[in-house]
Amino acid sequence: MPFQLFTPWSVILTVLTLSIAPVMSAPLIIWDNQEGMKFGYGCEIKATDKVPFHTSQYFGNQRLATENLRNFNGVKQSHLINFSIVKERISATKRNHTGIEVTGVNQRTNAKNNRWFSKRGDQGYLNNNSLRPLEDFVFEVSLKEDLYDNRIKNHLRELKPEEKVYLRVASGETYYQARCPGQTDRHYTIFRAYQKHFNEETLYYLGVSTEETKVLANIRTYGKVESKSFLAEVGNEPRLAVDAESLRQAIDADPKIEEELDAIEAAVQKAQELANEASIEKENTVNEGPVKEEVLVEDVVANTTLDQVVCIGTRFLNVRNRELDEVLFKARNGERIKVFQSWSGDDTQEAMINGTNYNFKRVEFGERESADQKVGFVASAFIKNADDCPYLNGRNSPRLNPVDTISGLDDPNCCDFPTAAKPTHSYTSGMRKFSHNRSGGRLHAACDLYRYKNEPIRSVAPGKVLRDLYEFYEGTFALEVRHSGGFVVRYGEMTGKVLQRRNSIVNMGESVGKMGKVNSGCCRPMLHFELYSGEKSGPLKSKTGRYKRRSDLMNPTPYLLKWQEKVF
């Protein structure tokens, strides 16, 4: 039976297997090189007789630890460690050989590495007899916590997943693949994911496409026989369906599921419309002959350097189509890009998004593995030279020359501004300003600097951490630093991400935390910045006074304005 474009009912069934974990065996999770792991909403499961991945092994009379990766003419190019993972490539046909690309190199080997060994991304030909089926092996991979999105973390919280996960391709008499809305050209090979101490259960199903395979980059391979000691086969078919009663129970328990179903059904309808348009276009092309579009070479010349990067204070940036009305994929902060330089102006666009006017540029992500996610439009405000991006590596490149010590707040070398860029709202007016009225007659003891969640918070001067992260206000945290010269700063309303410990020495401009957002939903993400002269000691909070703070509290406004002017 040919593959059917996603019907709403198949979409509903698949979504529900993800949304109501108690009813199904395990969720389907899709791997993305930039975003990590995310639920496979709306994906349709299909049986297939083959998959594009293989395991490599030396074929011959000798017992060698590597197999030769050769070019089309049979010349050896590199030595591929046995039991590595390779994927098939469309290349010139060579008798008894398959064109492959190295996807993941087996780290579980006694072979002594040298410069002739194959690396991930190497291409060439392997003898067909050197390609072993995936189901004969189990692959250990390392998945750090930041590779899981929040929904998956919540789903797996009770299981407390370890960093090591064991993958076995889902197979019995057949393999299984998934195709997902918006990714109809991708075929995700489905693996079962286990943990060593979960002998009886599949942790989740993991879909991996040939376009994005970083999850398999560093593997440790186990033979099927030796793996049986800690991995059990669990049936032959992924169980990814639920009944109508489960549907009603799920919607009653979580109304958001119904919203998700509506959104996905809308996506399905759009996919069907696009498919119909493509079919009509194909028919017209057959009847009338192909229409050739004249393209000027000068109009598609990209910037030849890769010094420019995506620079954004959040984890991902949306990459859009030419019309800017659709998100094609997401880019990770720090990804290197080429900017197209068009004589015709077709490679620049302008649009109003969420109330802000943006200029967009057409860029290429030249280092990506996925050919279908390399070109798109991003807002020019988020394109920077790598040296000028303040968000790389979790720490910012210093905007001022850091100094080892200062004499105090009036020292000419004081101070750096505490946020990565100029605040989006004035902190000298409204509820953000120092001394603004608060409930119960209290006055605001800080300046609130609005920016974006998870941006780094910078130490304004050299100093020593007096008190590391502690619970502060409505789900946020604070940290206190005594800076050189004696003044004290409380950096408040940060996330719980620990970057500094008590008694740690911090440098001027060094990250001390990440910008947070209160859980009441009242306000944008902010840094709550309190300043103290340091003439007093003890807790900063007090039961007396209009500010309910220690008596050496200072108004930080004039200092912040001075530092802002110097930095920005």
Question: Three-state secondary structure along 322-378?
Answer: CCCCCEEEEEECCCEEEEEECCCCCCEEEEEECCEEEEEEEEECCCCCCHHHCEEEE
The two most distant CA atoms of the chain are separated, in Å, by 87
Q: What is the CA radius of gyration of the chain?
A: 28
Query: In Å, what is the CA distance from 59 to each residue of 65, 130, 210, 270, 528?
Result: 10, 5, 25, 49, 65
Query: Would you state the structure tokens that stand for residue 561, as one six-digit string?
Result: 């304005």
pTM score over 0.85: no
Has residue 27 got a pLDDT over 60? yes
Q: List, for residues 68-113, the tens digit of each pLDDT value.
A: 999 988 888 899 999 999 999 888 888 889 999 999 999 988 877 7
Question: How many other CB atoms are there within 10 angstroms of residue 484's CB atom?
Answer: 20
What ranges do the domains of the chain cover? 8-23+241-284, 26-237, 298-388, 399-567
Question: What are the residues facing 293 on neighbouring strands?
Answer: none
C-alpha–C-alpha distance, residues 180 and 264, integer Å: 11
Residue 274's pLDDT band, with cuts at 50, 70 and 90, is low
Mean pLDDT of 331-346: 80
Is the pLDDT higher at 390 or at 265?
Answer: 390
Checking if the pLDDT of 207 tops 70, the result is: yes
CATH 1.10.10 given to domain 298-388: no
The CA distance from 210 to 480, in Å, is: 48
Which tokens in the block code for residue 68?
């030769």
With a pLDDT cut of 90, the percent of the chain lying above it is 33
Most confident segment among 33-42, 47-56, 147-156 = 47-56
State the amino acid at position 507 in one-letter form.
N
> Quick one: pLDDT band at residue 237, thresholds 50, 70, 90?
very low
Q: Residue 293, by phi and psi: left (phi above 0), alpha (psi -120 to 50) or beta?
A: beta
Task: Select, from the ranges 20-34, 68-82, 174-188, the one with the highest average predicted confidence (pLDDT).
Answer: 68-82
Residue 401 CA to residue 390 CA, distance in Å, equals 15
Q: What are phi and psi of 371, to 5 degrees?
A: -65, -25
The answer to whether 449 and 493 have CB atoms below 8 angstroms apart is: no
- Beta strands 28-32; 53-56: pairing state: unpaired
Name the CATH superfamily housing domain 399-567: Glucose Permease (Domain IIA) (2.70.70.10)
- The whole-angstrom separation of Cα 528 and Cα 513 is 12
pLDDT band at 226 (very low <50, low <70, confident <90, very high): low
What is the per-residue pLDDT across 63-79, written as a single tens digit (0 to 9) for each?
888 999 999 888 888 99
pLDDT band at 291 (very low <50, low <70, confident <90, very high): very low
The vertex-101 CA angle with 108 and 98, nearest 5°, equals 105
Structure tokens at 59: 């074929």
Mean pLDDT of 431-437: 93
Instruction: Report how far residue 20's alpha carbon sits from residue 535's, in angstroms, rounded to the nearest whole number.
Output: 57
Q: What is the mean pLDDT of residues 270-298?
A: 42
Predicted confidence at residue 212, as pLDDT, reads: 92
